Amino acid sequence: LYALVDEYFAEVAREYLQDILFRSSNDSALAISLPKCYKKYEDGASRADRMLNYINRLYVRREIDEGRGWVYVEDIVDKAVLERARLEQGKSLNSADVQQQLEAWKEGELHRRGFDQEQSDDEEEMAKRKCVAEKRAEAGSKLGAVVPIKSMALRRFRMEVGEPLL
């Protein structure tokens, strides 16, 4: 079901791209129509996210917990090292050093997306900014990464509309 929803968002994003290109005869028209289309697409993605919340709860969270979210173990550890760790007795992929490396890599990614822990002492404001940075990282993730429905939709908009227009 997750793959079907992803393909649906890809198809809708391609339709938006065709519509944008059809309506925009020059750069100024493109600059006017692109934000409107993005807002419309984002509203639809929000509705789909609410309607398909059970996928986020049951499938997406489990996949993220198993390491198939936007933070990949393979991003920090070589695949050969992972295979050796699987074969050796007493070592698991969830060892403390791998988890520390993952957390450090994740913090670096969140910093790249605009989150800085030293900016504020307010816990609530910091949690909101971290959530926004995580959403940005999810939407900017690789295609194979399992992310929440809305982030998947925004990732597809970026890939199908934003990148071709660059």
CA distance 56 to 114: 24
State mean pLDDT over 143-157. Answer: 92
Domain locations along the chain: 1-69+146-166, 71-139
Half-sphere exposure of residue 93: CA atoms within 13 angstroms, side-chain side = 18
pTM of the model: 0.74
Q: Which helix (H) or strand (E) holds 47?
A: helix 27-51
pLDDT digits (tens, 9 = 90+) for 73-110: 666 665 556 566 666 655 555 566 667 777 777 787 77
Question: Residue 39 to residues 46, 115, 140: CA-CA distances in angstroms?
Answer: 10, 24, 18
The helix/strand/coil state of 45 is helix
Q: Where does 1-69+146-166 sit in CATH, by number?
A: 1.20.1310.10
